[in-house]
């Protein structure tokens, strides 16, 4: 765990910046994850010799997703933060590069998701389906004119469009910067709900489809363009409201040279 990735640390919590590509926690032998990285970091600190640091996961980020995570360093803090994560006290905001055709500037999405444990894929299903869980999020398009391309027959045709093509936009895809606020914490929630609404996360190979993958390759983007850039919660001991914010490091955000929404 690099020191620069630690945003805050005290006797109860540790807040860090998770890079894309590393799991929050995994049972796979030999694969790095944030829990082991933080545990090793705490164990290596002066005065920690012989002790086994307590590191509790209270919320997660998908492996391809970059962003802010808070971990608890004792059971009392873990219980309180887990309660906040399950409710409305912990506020999680994301930045995403989405691509689609007609994308409303703002919206609230409510769906029911069902996770397939064998494939590790979630999908939108009717409310009545056994095991379906309610998923809610809200979003705002901060910039909707980052890039326009004509996408037909599974590939990008060209990026310089004729007036007729701009008017008849059946194959016109736009890339936009969206701010997303999670109100529930379901498996792959943002990626599933946004894709279902026609706003594909750039570079998402699991839910994005041909357009999101082709556009990502065109821009030289290897990762999923989704970042948990802002996290707010109440400190489990002091009761103080805490908020942390980062700038995305992913190539997708850098390549399009965007300003973060406030």
Residue 74, domain CATH: 3.30.2350.10
> What pLDDT is recorded for position 154?
47
> What pLDDT is recorded for position 261?
45
> What pLDDT is recorded for position 88?
86
Range 241-250, long-range pairs (CB < 8 A, 24+ positions):
242/8, 242/15, 244/7, 244/8, 244/15, 244/68, 245/68, 246/7, 246/17, 246/67, 246/68, 248/66, 248/95, 249/19, 249/20, 249/66, 250/20, 250/66, 250/221, 250/223, 250/225
Residues 191-229 as b or e (16 or more Cβ within 10 Å = b): bbbbbbbebbbbbbebbbeebbbbbbeebebebbbbbbb
| Residue written as token pair 């890079």 | 19
Q: Is residue 174 part of a domain?
A: yes
- Which of 85, 97, 2 is closest to 41 using CA atoms? 2
Q: Is residue 261 part of a domain?
A: no
Q: Is residue 116 part of a domain?
A: yes
Q: What is the distance between the alpha carbons of residues 99 and 252, in angstroms, rounded to a whole number?
A: 12
Q: Where are the alpha helices (DSSP H) in 137-224?
A: 163-167, 189-196, 209-218
Q: Is residue 160 part of a domain?
A: yes
> What pLDDT is recorded for position 113?
98
Q: Which residues, given as ranges, of the chain have pLDDT below 50? A: 151, 153-154, 156-169, 259-262
Range of the structural domain that residue 95 is part of:
3-255
Whole-model pTM: value is: 0.86
Range 6-10, long-range pairs (CB < 8 A, 24+ positions):
6/41, 7/68, 7/244, 7/246, 8/242, 8/244
Q: What is the distance between the alpha carbons of residues 149 and 128, in angstroms, rounded to a whole number?
A: 39
Q: Is residue 262 part of a domain?
A: no
> What pLDDT is recorded for position 222?
77
Q: What is the distance between the alpha carbons of residues 140 and 47, in angstroms, rounded to a whole number?
A: 47
> What pLDDT is recorded for position 257?
57
Q: Is residue 245 part of a domain?
A: yes
Q: Is residue 260 part of a domain?
A: no
> What pLDDT is recorded for position 99?
87
**Count of domains for the chain:** 1
């Amino acid at each position: 765990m690099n020191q620069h990735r630690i945003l805050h640390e005290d006797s109860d919590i540790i807040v860090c910046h998770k890079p894309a590509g590393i799991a929050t926690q995994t049972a796979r032998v030999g694969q790095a994850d944030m829990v082991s990285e933080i545990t090793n970091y705490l164990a290596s600190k002066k005065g920690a010799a012989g002790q086994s640091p307590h590191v509790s996961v209270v919320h997660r980020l998908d492996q391809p997703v970059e962003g802010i995570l808070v971990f608890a360093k004792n059971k009392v803090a873990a219980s309180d933060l887990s309660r906040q994560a399950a409710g409305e006290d912990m506020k999680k905001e994301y930045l995403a590069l989405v691509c689609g055709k007609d994308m409303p500037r703002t919206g609230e999405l409510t769906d029911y998701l069902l996770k397939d444990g064998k494939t590790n894929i979630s999908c939108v299903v009717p409310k009545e389906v056994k095991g379906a869980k309610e998923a809610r999020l809200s979003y705002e398009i901060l910039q909707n004119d980052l890039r326009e391309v004509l996408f037909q027959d599974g590939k990008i045709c060209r990026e310089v469009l004729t007036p007729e093509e701009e008017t008849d936009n059946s194959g016109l895809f736009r890339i936009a910067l969206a701010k997303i606020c999670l109100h529930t914490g379901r498996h792959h929630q943002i990626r599933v709900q946004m894709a279902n609404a026609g706003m594909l996360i750039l570079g998402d190979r699991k839910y994005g489809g041909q357009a999101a993958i082709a556009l990502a390759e065109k821009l030289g983007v290897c990762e999923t363009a989704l970042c948990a850039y802002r996290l707010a919660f109440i400190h489990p001991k002091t009761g103080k409201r805490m908020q942390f914010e980062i700038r995305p490091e992913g190539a997708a955000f850098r390549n399009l040279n965007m300003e973060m929404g406030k």
